Amino acid sequence: TIWRDVGGGWEAFLEAAMPKQPDGPSDPLLLYSPGAPLRGGSFAVGGSCSLRKSGLRWIEVEQRGLNLTSVVRSGEDYFASALGGKLARWNKSSLSWDVMVSIHGDFDLLCIEADDLSRKLYVGGERGSVLEVSLASLAVRNMSLDPAFTIHSISVVDGKAVWAVGTDGLIGKWNGSWYTQHIPSSANLHAVTTSFLPNVAVVVGDAGTLLGCTDVGACEQYNVATSSNLLSVSSDGNRIFVVGS
């Protein structure tokens, strides 16, 4: 179900019956687009199902065989990561998703972030993959981490730094090269955002993990009254929103 904040509470953001449930991968991470509701996003994607907001309704749209995992807005365009090493762009004319870039290699892309200043996309996924894609030339730069890990989420700070989080407590920060750490609990980390404060990365993960990191190796555990797995985090600049299972 898709929910929205109405001030003092949450309500289901649907006017009609829910479209068919995604029949792709069952990982809950694939059922959201982290940050999209608070950044003007109009899509929700997961597996073989893609929904587009139209007024107060959500309608299913054509994916053309793509299994989308996450969506981001850059300028007036929308882009999505997908299984099978593919990146897609929303086609405003046909109202469907088209393959934009296909990465060679047998791995899935699970997350995507946009840097509007440099007009670049950053995508991550299996085998430690982190890729930088220029929207001007579609050139792809490999920035991957250790292939033993899976990257679940990426966040970019004003074109200057890239944060990535993933399995086994992995936190990475790119400033021309990667600096990494693993949190002591080795809990899987599912999402990161830098939209709360520009010098703080907020990270969430399994077993109620909620961290504020000012740098790699400088993370503080926030106290939360839950041991649930936290799967997504976003911010409107004043508040932090976290969801989980």
Q: What tokens does 86 get?
A: 């593919």
pLDDT of residue 11: 59
Q: In DSSP terms, which residues pair with 80 in a beta bridge?
A: 71, 88
Q: Using 50, 70 and 90 to split pLDDT, how confident is the model at 34?
A: very low
Q: pLDDT tens digits, residue range 57-76?
A: 778 887 788 899 999 999 88
Q: Using 50, 70 and 90 to split pLDDT, how confident is the model at 37?
A: very low
Contacts of 67 (CB under 8 A, 6+ apart): 24, 25, 47, 48, 82, 83, 84
Q: What tokens does 204 get?
A: 């969430």
If DSSP codes are grouped into helix, strand and coil, which group holds residue 97?
strand
How far lies 193's CA from each of 78, 107, 157, 235, in Å? 19, 24, 9, 8
pLDDT of residue 26: 34
